[in-house]
């Protein structure tokens, strides 16, 4: 999967989790879905913040503003994830927080897929998109599984690891036409 496909695939999975939550039959099933949601959205947000948005900032003409708006949306999502993470199965706040999360996440997905990702796809060549997709897939195994709203949003602050940053550099070099070693 290239980077765009991978991110869209994540979005579809998250939408499916909201549907799973609705059809869950017990508190423990609902809690199970919430925990998967916290894990998957935390990883997804970290990958975008550390690997995709910095690149978008560099290569899109209006990148800085677009990325700042996306980061503000992420912050709302992450705060809700932290609240959800702290609940016990059957907590009456779960439904309300999941509805809040769904509103925040759909807004986020609309912004990513309606504007930022298509622009990024246009700005990068296919090999860069493939390479970034591979890097995202690898980084997923190392990405944080819980939300950290206080953590900085840019590399290299979070320890996703040097290999990821090296790939990120290579993708950037390719875009900028620098010789690669």
Q: Where does this chain bind Fe ion (CB under 5 A)?
A: 48, 112
Output the smallest distance, CB 106 to Fe ion, in A: 11
> With respect to Fe ion, which residue has the nearer C-beta, 71 or 87?
71
Query: Measured from the CB atom, is 31 or 66 closer to Fe ion?
Result: 66
Taking the complex as a whole, how short is the minimal distance between the CB of residue 148 and Fe ion, in angstroms?
Answer: 15
Q: How far is the CB of 82 from Fe ion (least distance, A)?
A: 17
Smallest separation, CB 63 to Fe ion (Å): 14
**Read out DSSP for 101-151?**
HHHHHHHHHHHIIIIIHHHHHHHS-HHHHHHHHHHHHHHHTTS-SS--TTS
Whole-angstrom distance, CA of residue 106 vs CA of residue 180? 38
- Provide the 10 A C-beta neighbour count for residue 28: 10
Q: Which is nearer to Fe ion, 112 or 153 (CB)?
A: 112
Q: Are 153 and 46 in contact (CB under 8 A)?
A: no
Nearer to Fe ion, 30 or 63 (CB): 63
Asked if 123 and 59 count as a contact pair (C-beta separation under 8 A), the reply is: yes
With beta carbons less than 8 A apart as the criterion, state whether 78 and 149 touch.
yes
Tell me how far, at minimum, the Cβ of 157 lies from Fe ion, in Å.
18
Measure the CA–CA gap between 149 and 42, rounded to whole angstroms.
10
Q: How many CB atoms lie within 10 A of CB 180?
A: 9
Q: Which residue lies nearer to Fe ion by CB, 8 or 134?
A: 8
């Amino acid at each position: 999967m290239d980077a765009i496909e991978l991110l869209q695939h994540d979005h579809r999975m998250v939408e499916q989790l909201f549907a799973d939550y609705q059809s869950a039959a017990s508190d423990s099933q609902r809690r199970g879905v919430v925990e998967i949601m916290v894990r998957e959205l935390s990883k997804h947000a970290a990958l975008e913040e550390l690997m995709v948005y910095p690149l978008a900032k560099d290569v899109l003409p209006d990148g800085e503003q677009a990325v700042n708006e996306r980061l503000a949306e992420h912050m709302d999502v992450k705060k809700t994830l932290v609240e959800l993470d702290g609940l016990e199965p059957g907590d009456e706040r779960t439904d309300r927080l999941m509805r809040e999360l769904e509103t925040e996440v759909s807004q986020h997905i609309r912004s990513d897929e309606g504007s930022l990702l298509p622009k990024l796809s246009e700005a990068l060549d296919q090999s860069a998109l493939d390479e970034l997709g591979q890097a995202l897939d690898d980084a997923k195994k190392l990405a944080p599984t819980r939300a950290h709203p206080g953590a900085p949003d840019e590399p290299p602050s979070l320890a996703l690891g040097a290999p990821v940053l090296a790939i990120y550099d290579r993708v950037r070099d390719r875009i900028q036409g620098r010789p690669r070693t």
